[in-house]
């Protein structure tokens, strides 16, 4: 029980309640979330290193994996976040077994897709 409580304590939380959640094509979203296969993730990391000149550090959890550890962490700490999902998210969100989830602030994502 101590381990579970410690892991739950480390999951990022928003300081204020969410007013709205929009999905789909949005001009300037707060956070961009996508599902990637390994090859696409490798291409993303390669592009990140070219644009930003740094490596990406990854902190992964299997509890609240997408909602807390990807979306909230990306929003609150303005960083790129990866997740393999949690069993419930994979089942109910119908995430394919060969995909991982990535989230990042829009400000960091935009330069990655601009032409060189």
Separation CA 112–CA 28 (nearest Å): 15
Check: pTM over 0.75? Answer yes or no. yes
Q: What is the pLDDT of residues 8-55, one digit of tens each?
A: 777 788 888 877 777 778 888 888 988 999 999 999 999 999 999 999
Give the residue ranges of DSSP H helices in 2-105.
2-10, 38-52, 73-77, 87-92
49 Cβ neighbours under 8 A, 6+ residues apart:
55
Backbone phi, then psi, for 81, in 5-degree steps?
Answer: -135, 135
Q: Quick one: pLDDT band at residue 63, thresholds 50, 70, 90?
A: low
Residue 32 pairs with which residues in a beta bridge? 104
Separation CA 66–CA 76 (nearest Å): 14
- Residue ranges per structural domain of the chain: 30-113
């Amino acid at each position: 029980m101590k381990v579970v409580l410690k892991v739950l304590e480390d999951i990022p939380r928003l300081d204020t309640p969410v007013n709205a959640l929009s999905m789909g094509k949005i001009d300037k979203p707060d956070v961009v979330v996508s599902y990637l296969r390994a090859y696409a993730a490798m291409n993303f990391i390669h592009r990140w290193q070219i644009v930003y000149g740094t490596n990406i550090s990854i902190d992964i959890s299997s509890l609240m994996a997408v909602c807390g550890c990807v979306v909230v962490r990306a929003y609150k700490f303005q960083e790129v976040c990866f997740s393999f999902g949690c069993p419930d998210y994979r089942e109910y969100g119908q995430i394919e077994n060969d995909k991982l989830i990535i989230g990042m602030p829009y400000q960091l994502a935009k330069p990655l897709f601009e032409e060189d």
